[in-house]
Amino acid sequence: MRLQLPPKVTRIIHTLQANGYEAYAVGGCVRDMILGRAPDDWDITTSAHPQQVKRIFLRTVDTGLAHGTVTVLLGEDSYEVTTYRIDGEYEDHRHPSHVEFSAELAEDLRRRDFTINAMAYNREQGLVDLFGGMEDLQKRRICCVGDARERFQEDALRILRAVRFSAQLGFSIESGTEEALRELAGSLACVSAERIQVELVKLLLSGHPEYVLRLFDMGIAPVALPEMAESALEAETLEKAAARLKKTPPQKALRLSVLLYPIGEKKAGQALRRLRFDNHTIDTARRLVRWHDYPLPEDPVAIRQAAAQMGEDLFPLVLQVQETYRDVSAVRGLWGEILQKGQCISLKSMCVSGNDLITLGMKPGRAIGECLGELFQDVLENPEHNTRQYLLECAKRKLEQ
C-alpha cells in the first residue's frame, strides 16, 4: 500500500534512516491516512534513542525524554519523534512503572491500544500491520491489540478511548473488546479527571456525539458521568438528549450543555467542576443549561429583555441549542433585526452611565443603580429612547421627584 506522507514527515524519516536508524509514521496518522481523513498530527516512531534524535536534528524540544519523545521542529511545524518503547508493568490501571526502549518496531506496536492505532508506515517498507489493523478498519470496528482484558487493566483510560474512537469513526466495538470493557468499566475510576475530560470532549465533538449513550449502556457512565448516572434518568430522556446532541454544532460548551441539561444547572456545574473544565466553559455550559428550554417569545421587546438577562454573548448560543428541538427561525429573524439596528441590550451600551447621573447631582449609591435599571428597562421596551438627551431628561425628572 502506498500512502502520501507530507514532505516534512518524509524528510524526518529519511534523515533518521540515513543515520542508520529505522523510522516510521505511526498510530493515528496512519489510521487517518488510510481512511482518507486529515490527521491531527504526525507521530514518528524510531529505533533511535532520544539523545541520538537530538544529535541528528538541529532544532528539537525535550518533550518527554524519559518516555522517549523528542519534538523535532522544521520551519513552523513540529513533529513528535518517539523511540520504540515497551511499557513496563502497570501498577495502578494508569501508569507503567517504567518504560524501556526497544530495538523492535513490533514491540512498540504491541503496546498500543487498538489494532487500528497500531500500524506503522514508511515508503521503503510500506504498511506494517502486525495486528490486523487494516482488517478492522475494513470491518469498521475497534478492537484491542492482544488480550482486551489485560489491555484495559493496564490502562483503564482505554475503556473510554474505545468509545471515543467508535464515535469519531462511526465504528462498532468488537465483541471481545466490548465484553472486557463492560467487565472493567468501573476501573476507569483510577484515571484522573483531566484525562477523562480530554476523551469525553473528543467523543462529544465527534461526528457521532450520540454514541455517548454507549457510556450508559456499557456501564461507563457511573464513573465518567456519575452526576447523570445517579439521576436515574429515563431511557427516553437520554435518547432525547442524544438526538439533540446530534443536531448541536460541534462546540464544547454547547454540546456539554445539551448532554447535561437533563440533570439541571446545579448538577451540571458539579459535573463540569469535577471533570476540571476551565471556568469559562463551566460558566457558559451552565448558563446554557439554564436557558435550554426557556420559551423565547416571538416579540422584539421580550427578546431584548431575554437577551439582556442572559447576556448578549449567550443569546445566539441559546438559539443554537433550542434549534435542536424546535423551529426558532422567527426569533432568529427578530434577533437579526435587533443586531442590525444596533439596539441596546446591555447596560454598558446605554447612552448614559452612572457618572452622568452623578454629574446631574445624584448621590453615589443604590439610587444610581436603581435609576439606571429603570432607564434600561425603558430602553429595552423602546429602543428609540436610547439617546443621551432623552435619558438625561428622564433621569432629571426622576431626581426631582
- Contact residues toward ligand ATP (CB under 6 A) are 27-28, 40, 43, 112-113, 117-118, 155, 157-158, 202
Q: What is the dihedral of CA 205, 220, 161, 98, to 10 degrees?
A: 140
Binding at 158: pick from ligand ATP, Mg ion, none (beta carbon under 5-8 Å per type): ligand ATP
DSSP state of 211: G
Minimum CB separation from ligand ATP for residue 44, in Å?
11
DSSP state of 363: P
Minimum CB separation from ligand ATP for residue 122, in Å?
16
Binding at 112: pick from Mg ion, ligand ATP, none (beta carbon under 5-8 Å per type): ligand ATP
> 22 or 155, CB closer to ligand ATP?
155
Minimum CB separation from Mg ion for residue 133, in Å?
15
Binding at 155: pick from ligand ATP, Mg ion, none (beta carbon under 5-8 Å per type): ligand ATP
Minimum CB separation from Mg ion for residue 76, in Å?
19
> 28 or 133, CB closer to Mg ion?
28
What distance lies between CA 334 and its chain's CA centroid? 31
Q: What is the dihedral of CA 235, 240, 242, 246, to 10 degrees?
A: 160
Cell of 203: 467523543
> 94 or 247, CB closer to ligand ATP?
94
Binding at 117: pick from ligand ATP, Mg ion, none (beta carbon under 5-8 Å per type): ligand ATP
> 118 or 204, CB closer to ligand ATP?
118
One-letter amino acid at 243 equals A
CA distance 222 to 225: 6
> 24 or 261, CB closer to ligand ATP?
24
Question: Helix, strand, coil proportions of the chain in percent (round to 5)?
Answer: 60, 10, 30
Minimum CB separation from ligand ATP for residue 19, in Å?
24
Nearest to 160 by CA among 211, 116, 217, 220: 220
Burial of 152 (0-12, 13-18, 19+ CB in 10 A): buried
Minimum CB separation from ligand ATP for residue 145, in Å?
8
CA dihedral (334, 337, 341, 345) positive or negative: positive
238, 216 Cβ separation under 8 angstroms: yes
> 120 or 395, CB closer to ligand ATP?
120
- Label the pairing between strands 141-142 and 172-173: parallel
Q: What is the dihedral of CA 108, 113, 115, 116, to 10 degrees?
A: -100
Binding at 290: pick from ligand ATP, Mg ion, none (beta carbon under 5-8 Å per type): none
> 198 or 339, CB closer to Mg ion?
198
Binding at 321: pick from ligand ATP, Mg ion, none (beta carbon under 5-8 Å per type): none
> 21 or 152, CB closer to ligand ATP?
152
The count of other CB atoms within 10 Å of the CB of residue 178 is: 21
Minimum CB separation from Mg ion for residue 164, in Å?
12
Minimum CB separation from ligand ATP for residue 202, in Å?
6
Nearest to 244 by CA among 297, 196, 292: 292
Minimum CB separation from Mg ion for residue 41, in Å?
5
Return residues touching Mg ion (CB under 5 A).
28
> 54 or 202, CB closer to Mg ion?
202
Cell of 181: 470493557
395, 375 Cβ separation under 8 angstroms: yes
